[in-house]
A and B are shown apart, each in its own frame.
Chain A
Amino acid sequence: MTDQTVNLHEISQEVPGTAGPARRWHRGLARRGEIVAGGVLVAIVVLIAVIVPLAEPGADTKINPAGGLAAPGAGGLLGTDQLGRDLLARVAVGFRISLSISLGAVVFAVLVGGVLGLIAATSPRALDGFIMRVLDVIMSFPALLLAIVMVALLGPGVVVLLFAIGVVYVPIIARVMRGAALQTAQQAYVESARARGAGRLRILFLHIAPNSLGPLIVQSSILVGLGIILEAGLSFVGLGVQPPTPSLGLLLASGRDYMATSPWVVADPAVAICLAVLGFTLIGDGLQSWLDPQKAAIGR
């Protein structure tokens, strides 16, 4: 950004009716509200995932033919499915699976993609170009199809799904990391560290990496939400988590035949997905507009 555009922006802030101090304060509150609301949703989801299965272990797969398709209230807080299994217990275990896959995939991508992005940003042009072109190839696969190809290779299952979604995320994280690191590398403190004789690795991991984490955290939060959706989609078509393990996508697929008469069998997992994805997306959005108001709300 040139100095000129910064000045223009400041001028426009002073024009009455566009963005006065009151509105700025209001927006600051709104983005803090977003982060808090997202945090509350994520906390609820994590609590359900952790506590409910502890209360009655095995309830998620315990079949009770007599109590099939019981409405919420009569048969547990969220009702039961066609085999009389408690949907609250199944949603809770579904959260566990979904969050493990999604968080695991993001951690994998941050470790691999983050390091690749850092290396690319601070390497000679040839290596930078090579790394980014390889990642371009991975990005030329639509996300769900790349995950399907990985499932074809390794077979379905929780660990494979984690890895498959992680591989989809590696180029996304690497790009974000590279962009942030390129900006950080131009800062005066990096120059001064170099002038003091700090080694390349020291500069990379002690100066550039920690100061480039902001965009990475925003992207990670959004990707956790997207991972929950990808997992649900793959499990829904039968290429993800395999029954009888409950996954939110599987719950939707098996509830499909009963939704006309017992809508809660699909409403429970649908609302569950919505809460979890909304939580992580709100946190990501809020952090995004906090760290970089210019680019807020672009991308998912």
Chain B
Amino acid sequence: MIGRRLLIAIPILFVSAIIVFGIIRLVPGDPAAAILGSNASPAAIVALRHQLGLDQPVTTQFFHWLGGALHGDFGQDYVTSESITTEIGARLPITAELAAVSFVLALVVAVPLGVISAVRRDGWLDRFARGVAVLTIALPDFVFGMIGVLVFALKLSLAPTSGFISVPEGGLGENIQSIALPAIALALGLGGVLVRTTRSAMLDVLDADYVRFARASGFGGLTVTFRYALRNAAVPIVTVIGLQLGYLLGGTVVVEQLFSLGGVGQLIVQAMLNRDYPVVQACVLIFVVAFIVASLITDIIYTVLNPRLRKAAA
């Protein structure tokens, strides 16, 4: 199962790379002419086209680009003439921290909340959790971010309105302060879906014979809930996490822009607005790779949780 998924992931990655490269190549306009401006001489444009390798066949360009990308070299930024790899390298830790903190936050809060919701079905906490979950699904993450800025940054001055402070720059405290609001805003959407999924998966399982048997055998409530029920409810939860990771990764783009965090997500928006397509290309490829790897990890966890799947594939 895991081997087969790996084998599928590689061609998908390759075709995605072709799509990213192909679409950006189809964007109208000559990059060389765009860089040099409207006053450039035709000779200068030809020279720059040669320098950038744009006069070579498309397939050569693609494999040159892909070969570079595999070695971590994404070429040169047309606008700032810096190395794209350096630019992304400086920003990737910010996006990674934002996504990871949001993911962990959503998981740590939402799964227990969903479990309690299911166990205390129709109680006040269940009603509250369901209400909040629907609200987090109905509002975009950046709206929560704006509410957070208004309340916690502007009114209460507990956090900065924007900007990212890394641990070496300002210590762990300031780092957490700067990432807290964006991470919570991003976590809410995933959290809402997770509460609902966990709740409904647990409700299915809590009615199952083996759970009632465990309870009848005298096991305590917590043991039954977590060791028997949650373990078996985990498969749909993991499935939904896998499906939702794409929204989490996409969400970093908007949330980073709102909070001016300066991560890869914000870089992609700036590059789009500047028509700096090689940077867009590199950033999109990084997001796609991250998503494919994350999906792969979800699938592996899936087979660990459900041994039947391992047998079925063998």
Instruction: Give A contacts to B, CB under 8 Å.
Output: 8-9, 12, 18-19, 133, 136-137, 140-145, 148-153, 225, 229, 232-233, 236-239, 249, 252, 256, 259-260, 263, 266, 270, 273-274, 277-278, 281-282, 294, 296-300
Contact = CB atoms under 8 A, between A and B. Distances in A.
Q: Please tell me the size bucket of the interface on B.
A: 35 or more
B134 A259 contact: no
A238 B269 contact: yes
A278 B254 CA distance: 21
Contact of A18 (B155, B207, B272): B207
Nearest to A263: B150
Contact of B240 (A232, A282, A299): A299
Contacts of B247: 142-144, 300
A274 B137 CA distance: 9
Contact of A299 (B16, B23, B146, B243): B243
A277 B12 contact: no
A58 to B, nearest CB: 28
Given A278-B135, A298-B196, 16 more contacts: A140-B16, A141-B291, A145-B288, A148-B268, A152-B24, A153-B27, A233-B251, A233-B253, A236-B142, A252-B146, A256-B146, A277-B139, A278-B134, A296-B200, A298-B236, A299-B193
Contacts of A148: 253, 268, 272, 280, 284
B139 A270 contact: yes
A41 B186 CA distance: 26
B249 A145 contact: yes
B12 A237 contact: no
B143 A270 contact: yes
B12 A298 contact: no
A46 B254 CA distance: 27
B93 interface: no
A274 B250 contact: no
8 contacts: A8-B209, A136-B8, A137-B16, A145-B253, A149-B19, A149-B24, A233-B250, A239-B272
A136 B288 contact: no
A299 B20 CA distance: 28
Interface of B: 8, 11-13, 15-16, 19-20, 23-24, 26-27, 134-135, 137-143, 146-147, 149-150, 154-155, 193, 196-197, 199-201, 204, 207-209, 212, 236, 240, 243-247, 249-251, 253-254, 257-258, 268-269, 272-273, 277, 280, 284, 287-288, 291-292, 295
Contacts, number: 163
Contacts of A8: 208-209
B154 A274 contact: no
Contacts of B246: 141-143
A233 B253 CA distance: 9
Contacts of B12: 133, 136-137, 140
Given A144-B253, A145-B288, A274-B139, A152 B280 contact: yes
A9 B206 CA distance: 12
A153 to B, nearest CB: 5
